[in-house]
């Protein structure tokens, strides 16, 4: 993790490195390891930029959380030390209030519904709301559905979760969701959750299949319950400081490459979800797929009233609901 001083020096150091041989690449951070679909999407952007600009625009990807936890890399991005950052929407919740809407529990009917929202007007509107906060929202990436897993016991009903210590992302709505279920939320950076599970600092966490697998949490927390309570996406943001230094043509090229990386990412994602699920189930993970969703949804419902606090947020919720088509939830 970077110290405050390194953070302050970062833009200087980074631009100094670039001057020697031609235009410097755009610096991009991601908390996931190289083979993860979000990182692969960043490499896809790099390829597209390379092809479309004859190598004039490129990306240098810092994967695996080497630039720090998402909360810290976002801060670095806002003051221009990083040009691009792929994060979950959760660490943005305290910066851009409208992003909270996409994390409302049981908001989406299905992955297809969520994708229509990310690609549609509500998704675009939420990306636009990031600009005044120093972040230019470029595109969303899939993050599937998040479900609870733990080291202790199978979870079928909210009662089974009662009293367990559950790691959550650094966001008030995740804290509130876990509290609403009668469990004890503990915000911990993603990179520290594996140790926390081993040491019993927490009993469980919640995430999608690929993160559950890639983080190796499945080795320690063997009970995975398909609660599918949140379908908030990943997001790729640019620093408005870097963005404002680009020519309009460069901005258009970067935005087009980011948008074109979305279908590429989705194809990798769908395959990865299926593969991760298969891999963890082969490693003795105990899957609970007959979860009482209605009981979870009922207890978590007050979170909506607590977090939808402005007419704009309510309007976003209404437009998101209007894009539902009565589909059943997919099973992963």
**For binding to ligand GTR (CB under 6 A), which residues are involved?**
31, 70, 87-88, 90, 143, 169, 190, 207-208, 211, 234
User: What's the min distance (Å) between Cβ of 290 and ligand GTR?
Assistant: 24
Rounded to whole angstroms, how far apart are CA atoms 324 and 176? 25
Residue with tokens 């299949």: 209
- Helical H segments across 162-208, by residue range: 172-180, 193-198
User: Is the dihedral angle over the CA atoms 205, 206, 209, 215 positive or is it negative?
Assistant: negative
User: What's the min distance (Å) between Cβ of 332 and ligand GTR?
Assistant: 14
Rank residues 70 and 203 by Cβ distance to ligand GTR and give the closer one. Answer: 70
Rank residues 57 and 161 by Cβ distance to ligand GTR and give the closer one. Answer: 161
Residue with tokens 């990865």: 272
Rank residues 93 and 211 by Cβ distance to ligand GTR and give the closer one. Answer: 211
User: What's the min distance (Å) between Cβ of 143 and ligand GTR?
Assistant: 5
Nearest to ligand GTR by Cβ — which residue?
88
Rank residues 212 and 243 by Cβ distance to ligand GTR and give the closer one. Answer: 212
Beta strand extents in 47-110 (DSSP E only): 59-62, 84-88
Query: What end-to-end distance do the CA atoms of the chain give, in Å?
Result: 33
Q: Are strands 286-288 and 223-230 parallel, antiparallel or unpaired?
A: parallel
User: What's the min distance (Å) between Cβ of 191 and ligand GTR?
Assistant: 9
C-alpha closest to that of 140 among 122, 119, 121: 119
User: What's the min distance (Å) between Cβ of 226 and ligand GTR?
Assistant: 15
Rank residues 57 and 139 by Cβ distance to ligand GTR and give the closer one. Answer: 139
């Amino acid at each position: 993790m970077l110290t405050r001083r390194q953070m302050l020096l970062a833009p200087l150091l980074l631009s100094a490195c670039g001057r020697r041989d031609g235009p410097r690449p755009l610096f991009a951070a991601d908390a996931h390891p190289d083979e993860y679909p979000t990182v692969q999407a960043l490499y896809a952007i790099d390829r597209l930029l390379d092809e479309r600009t004859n190598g004039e625009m490129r990306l240098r990807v810092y994967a695996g959380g080497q630039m720090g936890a998402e909360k810290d890399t976002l801060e670095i991005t806002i003051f221009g030390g990083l040009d691009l950052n792929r994060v979950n929407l959760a660490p943005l919740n305290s910066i851009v209030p409208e992003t909270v809407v996409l994390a409302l529990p049981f908001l989406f009917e299905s992955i297809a519904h969520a994708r229509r929202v990310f690609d549609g007007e509500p998704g675009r509107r939420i990306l636009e709301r990031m600009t005044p906060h120093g972040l230019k929202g470029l595109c969303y990436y899939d993050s599937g559905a998040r479900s609870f897993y733990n080291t202790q016991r199978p979870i079928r009903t909210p009662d089974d979760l009662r009293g367990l210590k559950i790691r959550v992302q650094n966001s008030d709505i995740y804290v509130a969701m876990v509290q609403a279920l009668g469990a004890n939320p503990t915000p911990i950076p993603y990179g520290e959750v594996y140790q926390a599970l081993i040491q019993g600092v927490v009993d469980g966490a919640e995430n999608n299949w690929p993160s559950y697998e890639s983080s190796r949490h499945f080795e320690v927390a063997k009970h995975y319950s398909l609660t599918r309570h949140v379908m908030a996406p990943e997001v790729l943001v640019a620093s408005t400081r870097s963005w404002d230094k680009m020519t309009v043509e460069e901005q258009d090229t970067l935005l087009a490459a980011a948008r074109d990386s979305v279908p590429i990412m989705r194809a990798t994602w769908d395959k990865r979800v299926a593969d991760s699920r298969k891999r963890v189930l082969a490693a003795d993970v105990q899957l609970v797929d007959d979860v009482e969703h209605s009981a979870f949804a009922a207890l978590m419902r007050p979170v909506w009233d607590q977090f939808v606090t402005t007419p704009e947020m309510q309007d976003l919720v209404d437009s998101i609901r209007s894009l539902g088509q009565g589909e059943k939830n997919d099973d992963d």
